[in-house]
Amino acid sequence: MLENITHRLRAVEPADAVQLYRLENKSDEWWLGANLTPFSQATLEHYAAGKHDLYADLQLRMMIEAKGDANICVGAIDLYQLDPRNRRAGVGIAIEAHKRRNGHGIAALNLLSEYAFGHLGLHQLWAEVPASNGESVQLFLEAGFEQKGIMSDWVWNQKQWQDAHWMQKIAT
């Protein structure tokens, strides 16, 4: 497992389907990712029970657990659009709304970075963060990502176009 003193990242388990259903089906947040339609409970149960391979699927989702008495699962973090030739991948993170602002995001991004650079041998991680999501921009900056540019009118939020920050972290 990937862990530090306070958090761990672990594989998706069948019991996580309920939480994934909650995270993936927040229609007011779909504009932050790639979802256009809801996922069924059955689809997420099938996903959670399946075999996942980063190099076959070009993506990997891990669950974020806060260590303690109950090892509470607080969200999920993804590597996606893996580019093995150029050794880079996108990063996405979702923390349960009532668990935000408690250090879970920074811990998960740091653990994921250590795994991506140290174990997978990736050279860089990147993220597209809507400019209006200042808390996420700050989170990625605190995790060692740098803002490399602004992509104009990059994300449609069902009302208007929004700019996005291109964030990048290069292995040292």
Q: For the chain, what is the mean pLDDT? A: 85
What is the percentage of the chain residues whose pLDDT exceeds 90? 47
| Total domains, the chain | 1
CATH assignment at residue 142: 3.40.630.30
Q: What is the dihedral of CA 3, 51, 128, 119, to 10 degrees?
A: 40
Q: Which amino acid is at 106?
A: I
What is the percentage of the chain residues whose pLDDT exceeds 70? 85
pLDDT (tens digit per residue) in 83-120: 999 999 999 998 888 888 889 999 999 999 999 999 99
**Residue 62 sits in which domain range?**
2-170
Residue pair 121/21 in contact (Cβ under 8 Å)? The answer is: no
